[in-house]
Chains A and B, each alone.
Chain A
Amino acid sequence: MGRSSKDKRDIYYRLAKEEGWRARSAFKLLQLDEEFNLFKGVRRAVDLCAAPGSWSQVLSRKLRGEEQEKEQEKEQEKEQAKIVAVDLQAMAPLPGVTQIQGDITKTSTAQEIIKHFEGQPADLVVCDGAPDVTGLHDVDEYIQAQLLLAALNITTHVLKYGGTFVAKIFRGKDVTLLYSQLRIFFGEVTCAKPRSSRNSSIEAFVVCQRYAPPEGYVPNMSNPLLDHCYDVDFNQLEGPNRVIVPFLACGDLSAFDSDRTYPLQLDPSKEYKYTPPTQPPIRPPYEQACRLRKSNLLANENSPSLPLDEGFSSLHLSANQDADVRPPAGTAEDGGKLDDK
């Protein structure tokens, strides 16, 4: 298996590299837009959990136009749509996107967003964030739900009435509880699956339109928005009262198929050339461990773990080097992580 095998197995991974997207997930937002016209009339958009920034890239290209020169010519800042990207991590800058490095569970972050919009609420909030998965489905689904609810909570602070909220969900055992909760805040909730998202993956997106919080609802960040529970007798667990929202597949059928494996030579006239990833992952948690493994410094029965003081500090990356987005020196795992953020 060479470096090109992923290009064959995942056409959107390859296309993302070739078109300069930071992650293949850019196509998902583009295809959601094809179906729902998400960007129509949007002047202010927020991208939550934005890193590495592919959705911000889409917002930037779609809301502000492709050519930057045109933008400079016009010099009409007021006419331009405003985009705010929020993430804990820093990411490489994007034209026309304001970055806020902050926590989406903090009121201060919401205030900062509103400040960038000069007091105006946002028209669109998107969130493609996914947690560090544990591999245990119940835990991962729960944490993903909490991330979505945290995103919903900050959205209630910044979204205008009638606005749209798009977020990633895992279609797992308790997804119906999330649906029922989103229904409280939005006039219309649809479960959408862009064709660039694999058929085999439980990932999907909720497109929540017509924001209309319950009467008297006061946005509050001091308490987390908890997810719903099944009723006491568990009638909803196996019963017919489960809330299942309509499903909509998005994207043109003539587009590439994310499940299909393609030959490397897609177009007979154009020879295949390997394209390196647009942006390697920014400092993954396992970076230090990989570095140690490469230098054969992991502890085993024969050699101890490195003592804390000597030798270690030279390898250790301080936790405060936040501004440093330099890609790591090509660890073996780098290639595999572009997939989704």
Chain B
Amino acid sequence: MESVLIVTPVTALEFLGEDYLLAGDGPVLSVYNLKTSPTTSALLSVLQNFRIHGIRPHQQQGDKAEHTSVAKKEEEEPQGLSWQQRAHLVVFGGKAVRLVELKMGELPSLQPLGPLIQLRDWVLDVHWLDVRGDLLGVTLAHNATLLLDVQKGSTLALCSCEDGCLLYSALLVGPCWKSLVVVGGTIFNQLVLWRPGEGTEKEGGRNMVGRVERRLLGHSGVIFSLAYLPKPGWLASASDDRSVRVWDVGALGGEAGCGAPSPTCLRVLYGHQARVFSVKLSSAGAFSAGEDGVCLAWDWDSGKVTRALRGHRAGGVRALAVSLGGAGGGGYVATGGTDGGIRLWSLKEEDSGLEDAGVLRDLGFEGVGCPKVVRVTGGRGLRQRGVVITTDQGEVYSWEEQRGWQLLWKGGAGFCSYNVMEVLEWWSGDEMCAVGSLSGEVWLFPLSQPSAGIRLKAGTGKIHSVLWVHPTGGRGGYLLASGAEGVVYRWQIDTELVGGAVVLNTEPLGPFILPPCAKRWLTTAVLISRPEGALWVCGDRRGSLLLYRDKAEEAKADGALQPMSVLFGVHGKQGVTCVCEHAGLIYSTGRDGCVRVSRLDASALEVLRVQRACRGMEWLERIMVLDPEVNPVEGEHGERHAGEVRLILGFHSVYFVVWDLVRQERLLSVPCGGGHRSWSYWLPQSPGADGAGTVVFVKHGAVMASRAPEETFHQQGGWELKEGIHGRGVTCVCHLGAVRVARQHWEILATGGEDTTLTVLTIDPRSRALRVLALITDHISSIRALAVVRRPGAREANDTKPLLSVLLFSAGGRAQLQCYRLLIGANGQLGLPSCQVIQVASHRLDEQWERRRNRHKTVKMDPETRYMSLAVVSDGTEGVLLAAACSDGALRLFSLTETSGRFQLLWETFYHQRCVLSVATYLLKDPQGCQRLFLFSAATDGVIAVWDTNTVRNLENGPSSDTCWKDPPSPCLTFPAHQSGVNTLAVWEGHWDDQGLSQAGGHWMTVASGGDDGQLSAVCIQVQFHSKEVEGSGLTLNLYARSVEPLAHSAPLTALIPLGPRLLISASPDQRISLWDRRGSSLRHQGVLFSHVADIAGLTAWQGEERQTWVAVCGQGLQLLRLEAEGDGK
């Protein structure tokens, strides 16, 4: 077995100068060259069964050190690289220390120097003590420090502190052993300072004991992290009590000993919402990061938070590193999350504008009247960016940075007090403006020549909205004016230049008629060209999505068009705000807080997916697809989700928010006062200028702009060096299939987590790259089980065929069951697989309760049922049968037909009367050729029950009708298998190679189970069918040969999976993955592998190409392993 990829919490980060970042993720040390684009990296597994908790590069201080280094290297390797390109690192974690050499360069490489050094106790800090790179000070968790010769691996001296209590953190300061100072953060919330070099002999010289010289009290929780800054002699501590304290300890180490005789606490920094795991000090200030997932930058003088770096999912930041910064200041902060992700943040421009990132700029409107509508100009082109507004005096003004405010156009009395305006970037580089009035008047003019404007008539009533629609690839544009009584007037507009003057050509088109309702006007429209004719997808104020088709003949006759398809009120009563098209799909947003993804058929719209963009954000205004060619958002540091970054603009209470839908994070938040105001938005123009774009809006009669923080785009969410997956435990993993994209082989997996998200991800086993393809956030509680049907849907034959199409079921807390159709295709631009998610169905047991209006006043008496396990039976027809193990003691059967999009509860039994933990199914053909479906369920009492579904199904009524399921009978067989909970079940056909069993005849199945007791057991069950005359189910089950491994694992056995004809794989939180041979007359242990994924909860295995077998385990992270070939595993 070989580990291919591992994603676990990042527990160590360290910069080497400004160019290299070192990271520890499980036992794996990685190095990233930050100066190459795209980033190059190398990795090496260095710590065996220990996790890396720290990395300390050897600091070559001063010229002397460099010379010795050079000399040494040249002796060893005459033609080799010069000293600058190599560095020695000491890596530690758990009870181990190891020396590693880093070769720098375009493609960095790592190489271990010597074996793993194992110590007797847990290592908390390691410190280089001499310039040659031999001696290390090592502080252990029981407050002892030793002097270690790292080349020889021998301990030269050991000194314990008189205060021998357990430490949670430690820090070593000082140039040599004699004057080394240890700062320990004790289990009793104290900081103790002592010197191991000053220890005295105790107990007849057997032990050296050091005296505590300083004791710093104040924290009310254990201390997780310590940092020291020699100038000005400050010590920082981060604690369980959610605070960071900064202490004035003075100079530590060397001559100064333990520093100031009575150190004072300078500051207590409370700013984190949860525990603080890490603190770092640099000349730029203090940095702290913790469980709340935020890294805070603190200002020395004011104690203010200067920046809050948010980029990690639930679970928080574990590791933090700050680079010193080059000659021009700056530098980087790196954060490593529990999610396994690493992000890098630049500290450049730190002094300019970062502090007031939220400050607004008043554009100082100078004209007459009050601004009504505001629009930005020069949004995408190279032109100067500007703003146009209309006022309540019926005038249009423009503003540019250099030229200030200018009156462009006067609309007269008809445009006073009420007007609407929209601006379109014109193909000629100009900008086209349309203004509508209260009485059906629309003025149209180019901003460069307002005098060339023309007047259009759109009925006689109020113009509710004017909209521009730009035909993709074409020139000109369409103007839509939504008048009274649901009539949308349309014109095709084009321009030509006649003698330097712009001449507008307008051609009226047939108006659209909106469906009757109270607020009957258009809010958004998009034109989609199809071979069979142009289609218009529109959204209205009533929340409906509408589809119109331009019919040439009717347009000529000026015939009004009725919608071909209406999704009435899908976005709620507050209206649709935006529709757009990307990659053949229609995206729409509304003030219901939802993004809808729809498919456009020849004659109808069909919603595939509803996504709540951001919890709490109910008012979405716009969705934007960042096309990588139009908006090169890739910075100097390369790859991002190009072409997939979908920005959501909207209002969240009093803030205007720019939200990244893919990464689920906030890019910009501007306190504008809330919705119900005119606003407009500039996309980020280039990575250097203004990262998250700029919003311009009207507030209290003033035109305001968000002051663009001087940051690049990727710094807003941090530059993502490594993608994280789930912030908390991954509870289940499921293999969906494999695809070939760009001649690469990609494995597709789905994972569900305690963070309530469902992730579809892809792994390229060759390059060990992992990419998240889709993040599904529909679950309201922890996801516990996944099941997959690898069968294409009925409809896909007509569509462009995806590479892979599966039906995925997820279930979890609050009795929630979801079903998705996942279409895996290829993202041509990126050479990566892509994933389209279609929501098929959703079900909750307590749906009735959720719909009750007075529910906050009453106490819900039902249990909060969790689904513990799922098993799927695809019975070959359209319908899918699904069995769920439920925490309220029930075993439930659901049916789902993809076309109806509904789950139906068919049958439930409370037979177990205990939490049902696992469920499995098995399909058998009886002598008549009929399929017999057996269900296996097991609960916390260790009993396994076998159900024959034919006895509960009334076949006369047809197999998938919900009336055909009878009351639950009793199981046809029960047997105790474990002392306590049965976590996992596996069923396969056949029995042991046992002569006695072969002779017994009948059908055979074998059930293996893994329990909380760490036991693996298996039984063979004989199925005997009787002729029809025998009453009852017509079959009997007999238990035979039993194979039990009582001590298969030293912790609960949580996952079990049979693979191929002979293998059984088991996994447990004891972090061992065991292989069992299931041929022969009992289970035989075949091999075991230690995994760095803690708290293993799920397992999946599959046969890949070239007879390779893959195993993926999940828990506190994810690991992919390869079994070389069938027969391997010794």
Contacts and interface: CB of A to CB of B under 8 A. Distances in A.
Contact of B302 (A9, A230, A304): A304
B1050 A244 contact: yes
Contacts of A39: none
Contact of B889 (A135, A232, A260): A260
Contacts of B914: 257, 259-260
A15 interface: no
Nearest to B51: A138
Contact of A137 (B165, B355, B1015, B1094): B1094
A301 B306 contact: yes
A266 B765 CA distance: 52
A131 B167 CA distance: 12
B268 A173 contact: no
B144 to A, nearest CB: 9
A299 B270 contact: yes
B48 A285 contact: no
Interface string A290-315: 00110001111111111110001000
Contacts of A132: 168, 221-222, 240
A298 B270 contact: yes
Contacts of B189: 285, 319
A109 interface: no
A37 interface: no
A39 to B, nearest CB: 23
B242 A173 contact: no
B879 to A, nearest CB: 29
A202 B1052 contact: yes
Contacts of A226: 120-121, 142
A229 B120 contact: yes
Contact of A298 (B9, B121, B273, B1069): B273
B1116 A137 contact: yes
B737 interface: no
A45 B593 CA distance: 60
Interface in B822-843: none
B1009 interface: no
Contacts of B241: 285-286, 288-289
Given A202-B1051, A222-B203, A262 B1071 contact: no
Nearest to B307: A301
Contacts, number: 256
Given A142-B141, A244-B1047, A264 B861 contact: yes
A173 B95 CA distance: 14
B221 A146 contact: no
A20 B349 CA distance: 60
A36 interface: no
A218 interface: no
A319 B239 contact: no
A87 B432 CA distance: 77
Interface string B47-61: 011110000000000
A247 B1013 contact: yes
Interface size class of B (residues with CB under 8 A): 35 or more
B1057 to A, nearest CB: 19
A299 B1050 contact: no
A257 B940 contact: yes
Given A173-B1070, A199-B1012, A238-B1072, A301 B863 contact: no
Contact of B355 (A5, A172, A301, A308): A301
B471 interface: no
A248 B220 contact: no
A259 B981 contact: yes
Contacts of B63: none
B860 interface: yes
Select the residue from B9, B1049, B1050 with max chain A CB neighbours within 10 A: B1050
A270 to B, nearest CB: 13
A263 B861 contact: yes
B48 A234 contact: yes
Contacts of A303: 304
Given A138-B94, A261-B865, A304-B302, A292 B915 contact: no
B142 A261 contact: no
Contacts of A224: 142, 164
Contact of A257 (B915, B983, B1071): B915
A110 B282 CA distance: 45
A41 interface: no
Select the residue from B95, B1070, B1090 with max chain A CB neighbours within 10 A: B1070
B1050 A301 contact: no
Would you call the interface of chain A mostly helix, strand, loop, or mixed?
A: loop
A89 to B, nearest CB: 11
A171 interface: yes
A60 B163 CA distance: 34
B316 to A, nearest CB: 8
Given A138-B94, A193-B1012, A272-B861, A199 B940 contact: yes
Nearest to B859: A4
Nearest to B942: A249
Contacts of A5: 860, 864
Contacts of B980: 193, 195, 199, 249
Contact of B1070 (A2, A135, A175, A249): A175
A173 B1094 contact: yes
Interface string B1023-1052: 000000000000000000000001101111
Interface in A239-276: 239-240, 242, 244, 246-249, 253, 257-265, 272, 274
Contacts of B1090: 173, 237-238
A283 B917 CA distance: 37
A123 to B, nearest CB: 27
Interface in B209-260: 217-218, 220-222, 224, 239-243
Interface in B1080-1130: 1085, 1088-1090, 1094-1095, 1116
Contact of B221 (A202, A285, A292, A317): A285
Given A224-B164, A261-B915, A301-B305, A287 B220 contact: yes
A181 interface: no
A105 B267 contact: no
A19 to B, nearest CB: 21
B864 A261 contact: yes
B271 A299 contact: yes
A107 to B, nearest CB: 12
Contacts of B217: 319
Contacts of B865: 261
Interface in B261-293: 265-275, 277, 291
Contacts of B218: 319
Interface in A129-152: 131-132, 134-138, 142-143, 146, 150
A242 to B, nearest CB: 6
Contacts of A199: 915, 917, 940, 980-981, 983, 1012, 1052
Contacts of B269: 299, 305
Contacts of B981: 199, 259
Contacts of A103: 165
B303 A305 contact: yes
Contacts of A131: 187
A307 B165 CA distance: 32
A234 B1085 contact: no
Select the residue from B49, B189, B203, B1012 with max chain A CB neighbours within 10 A: B1012
A56 interface: no
Pick the 9 closest A-B CB pairs, nearest first.
A285-B221, A137-B1094, A289-B242, A259-B915, A171-B1051, A199-B981, A299-B271, A261-B863, A249-B980
Given A135-B316, A172-B1071, A301-B305, 4 more contacts: A4-B860, A244-B1014, A261-B863, A263-B861
10 contacts: A134-B168, A135-B316, A171-B1051, A223-B160, A258-B940, A261-B866, A288-B220, A299-B296, A301-B304, A301-B358
Interface of A: 2, 4-5, 8-9, 88, 103, 105, 131-132, 134-138, 142-143, 146, 150, 171-173, 175-176, 179, 193, 195, 199, 202, 222-224, 226, 229-230, 232, 234, 237-240, 242, 244, 246-249, 253, 257-265, 272, 274, 283, 285-289, 292-293, 297-308, 312, 317, 319
